[in-house]
């Protein structure tokens, strides 16, 4: 199984922040920026990076809260959750944009982006603002309505759980109405259904969403699959 290590990146403001980086062990299919949940670059996020590296991607997961607390990782305990929520609220989108551009620039193309929870919204931002992105797969981005006036500039798909208490279907409908041509996939699942640490973990939904993500990346890579 692929295993990565730490890396350093420099944001648009000159701030140097950490990242988890992992190389594919076999043929390389592209680069992938994988964006954290509100909990930081946790063991779950690192495992996701490793799993995409096994699919042939060089993966970077930037630590986007480093200005607030370097190397922050949180679990589901109330105090940790409260801090994670506060950090997500105190991290401005313009700053995230600059940090994501640094992560994208550190990878050779084609470069893809995926993100989960808070990172699902950040991946939407990358689709709309960051040059050099071939495709984006966004998972349960609750705050996408904050950026709804912006339009993805690359192939983008969204994933939401039908029973996600934090993202009512009215929110999903709002996104669909603003961007009617955007593929939105719905699953019989709640929030965080990809994470096996979450009480809403739904393995069937996670597998299907991952398959759709990999298919999107392959279609957008500019490389024809072997028959």
Q: Distances from the Cα of 192 to the Cαs of 71, 142, 182, 196, in angstroms?
A: 21, 11, 21, 9
Question: Catalytic residue at 154?
Answer: no
Query: Do 133 and 113 touch, CB atoms closer than 8 A?
Result: yes
Q: Which of 117, 128, 130, 154 is catalytic?
A: 117
Annotated catalytic residue within 29, 44, 159, 191: 191
Is residue 164 flagged as an active site residue?
A: yes
CA atoms within 13 A on the CB side of 25: 9
Structure tokens at 212: 């759709």
Rounded CA separation 133/155 (Å): 9
The answer to whether the CB of 133 falls within 8 A of the CB of 154 is yes
Catalytic residues: 117, 164, 191
């Amino acid at each position: 199984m692929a295993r990565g290590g730490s890396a350093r990146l420099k944001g648009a403001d000159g701030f140097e922040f950490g990242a988890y980086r992992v190389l594919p062990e076999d043929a390389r299919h592209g680069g992938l920026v994988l964006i954290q949940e509100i909990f930081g670059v946790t063991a779950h996020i690192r495992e996701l990076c490793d799993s995409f590296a096994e699919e042939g991607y060089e993966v970077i997961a930037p630590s986007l809260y480093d200005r607030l607390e370097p190397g922050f990782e949180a679990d589901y305990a109330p105090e940790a959750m409260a801090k994670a929520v506060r950090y997500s609220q105190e991290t401005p989108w313009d700053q995230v944009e600059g940090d994501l551009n640094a992560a994208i620039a550190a990878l050779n193309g084609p470069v893809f982006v995926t993100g989960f929870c808070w990172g699902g919204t950040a991946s939407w931002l990358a689709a709309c603002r960051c040059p050099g992105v071939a495709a984006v797969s966004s998972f349960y981005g609750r705050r996408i309505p904050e950026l709804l006036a912006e339009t993805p500039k690359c192939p983008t798909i969204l994933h939401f759980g039908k029973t996600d208490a934090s993202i009512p279907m009215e929110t999903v409908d709002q996104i669909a109405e603003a961007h009617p041509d955007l593929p939105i996939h719905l699953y019989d699942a709640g929030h965080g259904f990809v994470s096996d640490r979450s009480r809403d973990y739904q393995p069937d939904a996670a597998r299907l969403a991952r398959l759709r993500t990999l298919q999107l990346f392959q279609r957008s890579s500019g490389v024809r699959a072997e028959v």
